[in-house]
Amino acid sequence: MKAHTKETQATMTPKKALDFLKEGNQRFQNNLKANRNLLEQVNDTSEGQFPFATILSCIDSRVSAELVFDQGLGDIFSVRIAGNFVNEDILGSMEFACKLAGTKVIVVLGHTACGAIKGACDDAKLGNLTALINKIKPAVNAVEKPEDSTLRNSSNIDFVNNVAEQNVYMTIDNIRKQSAVLKEMEDEGEIKIVGAMYDISDGAVTFY
């Protein structure tokens, strides 16, 4: 499989880009990698890149976007931060990826059993991590059940995963609210902004 070119990127639509990611995750789950020569792709992309998707995911070592979507060099922009939330710098990176570099879809990818989410559920405090976790706490507060405070912590994996899902939705809302550039592109049909959850137990990505 060759690296994307300006011509192949131009044929991409938001729907087609999303389908490419879904197909890639199916290959990943079935251990059927696309036939690609990565060194050849190094040469193909040496003078330019034409990726079709931007993925915002957690830094978790088990959730590499290139691997779980079976993509090669030059295929996707990968933005990673613990808890997969956005700030000014990440939004700026996304605006570059979509408006200037031509990607057609933004995927906010959460995952099950997320350590950053667990830290937010437990109100963990540790150096600079404290400030990071505070950015995820609105998602904790937005999950109404269970009401019993003794069940609203990292020992309740269902609660953790519900918070992770809520965090994805809230991150998507923040992208639209905080980036006029990306909001306009989505409204014009130039891009899609979607959420998804990666299951660390089986490698499956569920799109919302």
The answer on whether 121 is annotated among ligand-binding residues is no
Report the C-alpha gap between 12 and 176 in whole angstroms: 22
Planar angle of CA 75, 132, 96, nearest 5 degrees: 30
pLDDT of residue 194: 98
Q: Is 98 annotated as a binding residue?
A: no
Domains delineated in the chain = 6-114+170-207 (3.40.1050.10)
- The strand pairing partners of 74, in sequence order, are none
Residue pair 22/56 in contact (Cβ under 8 Å)? The answer is no
What end-to-end distance do the CA atoms of the chain give, in Å? 28
pLDDT reported for residue 45: 76
Burial category of 163 from C-beta neighbours within 10 Å (exposed 0-12, middle 13-18, buried 19 and up): buried
Give the pLDDT of residue 106: 98
> How many helices (H) and strands (E) are present in the chain, helices listed first?
10, 5
Mean pLDDT per block of 10 residues along the chain (208 residues) reads 77 94 96 81 77 97 96 92 97 97 97 97 95 96 93 96 98 98 98 98 96
- Given this model, what pLDDT does residue 39 score? 77
Nearest to 104 by CA among 177, 3, 11, 166: 11
β-bridge partners, 76: 53
pLDDT of residue 190: 97
